[in-house]
Amino acid sequence: MARKLRLASDSGIYHVILRGVNRQDIFENEKDFLKFLSLMERLAFPVDETGHRVPPLLVIYAYCLMPNHVHLLLREQPGMLVSDAIKWVSGTYAGYFNVKYEHVGHLFQDRFRSEVVNDWEYFVTLLRYIHQNPVAGGLVDNVRYYRWSSWREYDPEMVCDVPMCATQAVFTKISFDALEELVDMPLPKTQRILDFDSDSGRRVTDERLREYIKAEFGITEVPTIQHLEKEKRNEIVVKLLEFCRNVRQVSRVTGICRGVIIRLDK
């Protein structure tokens, strides 16, 4: 079965998720968390053979390391695709983990998942979602109490283990007080965000799907998708299937033949 193509982000910004195979834990103790963060730091602040700082390979805006999965909000940089960067991090960490724990086989589930982030509103939504993950998962009562997220970099009163995030770039658009207020406010349960469980059957209304098409692709007249160049049309359909997992609904909303959508779903 052919793998679905990843959509390229116009902004270069992506929300990336890695999860342990069969939901197994990928972090067993403090040293494991620190190891993963150190690998991300090497991409954010790389050095050459002489030890001199060179341009970043990734710009990292937020992260959260949960026991069995990882959320990242980052921007691709010239010279390294986000797929190559994540492949290096996950492969290097998996090698470390397998040796340390005498683990055999894959550590991470399939390929990582990703979605493009092309507008500020969704960027802020992801800042909230990523930092709220430990609270939603029942690990802590407040985002400040979780050690393994980037919130410790945003909060000036806290100390971060491995600083690596471009927080100042975020603060040029929103103050800390405003961001803190948003992060303290739980996202509505109807807010749909990419996750490994995003295709678990939760219903998306037709109106929500149209809103997603407008936000993600800038398309206000949904039927025009039918008349796009075939490759672009197919990329959009694949992304819609990832979002709502409903062939009938995608066909109904876009007007594209179900047969075409079924073939792309395979």
**Whether residues 225 and 119 fall in one domain:** no
What's the chain's average pLDDT?
87
**Whether residues 251 and 163 fall in one domain:** no
Does residue 198 have a pLDDT over 60?
Answer: no
**Whether residues 179 and 220 fall in one domain:** no
Q: What is the pLDDT of residues 59-88, one digit of tens each?
A: 999 999 999 899 999 999 988 889 899 999
**Whether residues 252 and 178 fall in one domain:** no
**Whether residues 48 and 123 fall in one domain:** yes
End-to-end Cα separation, the chain, in angstroms: 7
Q: Which residues pair with 58 in a beta bridge?
A: 76
CATH number of 39's domain:
3.30.70.1290
Q: Sheet containing 58-65: which strands, arranged edge to edge?
A: 58-65, 69-76, 13-19, 113-116
Q: What is the pLDDT of residues 5-49, one digit of tens each?
A: 456 667 789 999 999 887 788 999 999 999 999 999 999 999 888
**Whether residues 88 and 178 fall in one domain:** yes
Spatial contact of 257 and 227, defined as CB atoms under 8 Å apart: no
How far is it, in rounded angstroms, from Cα 255 to Cα 63?
38
Q: Is residue 194 part of a domain?
A: no
Domain total for the chain? 2
Spatial contact of 153 and 170, defined as CB atoms under 8 Å apart: no
Confidence of residue 199 (pLDDT cuts 50, 70, 90): very low
**Whether residues 47 and 109 fall in one domain:** yes
Burial class (CB in 10 A: 0-12, 13-18, 19+), 164: buried
Instruction: Classify residue 77 by its DSSP letter.
Output: B
Q: What is the pLDDT of residues 201-227, one digit of tens each?
A: 345 677 788 888 988 889 988 888 988
Domain, as residue range, for 219: 206-265
Point out the domain boundary residue: 132, 149, 183: 183
Q: What is the pLDDT of residues 132-143, one digit of tens each?
A: 999 988 899 999
Q: Is residue 172 part of a domain?
A: yes
How far is it, in rounded angstroms, from Cα 137 to Cα 139?
6
Q: Which is more confident, 245 or 229? A: 229
**Whether residues 177 and 253 fall in one domain:** no
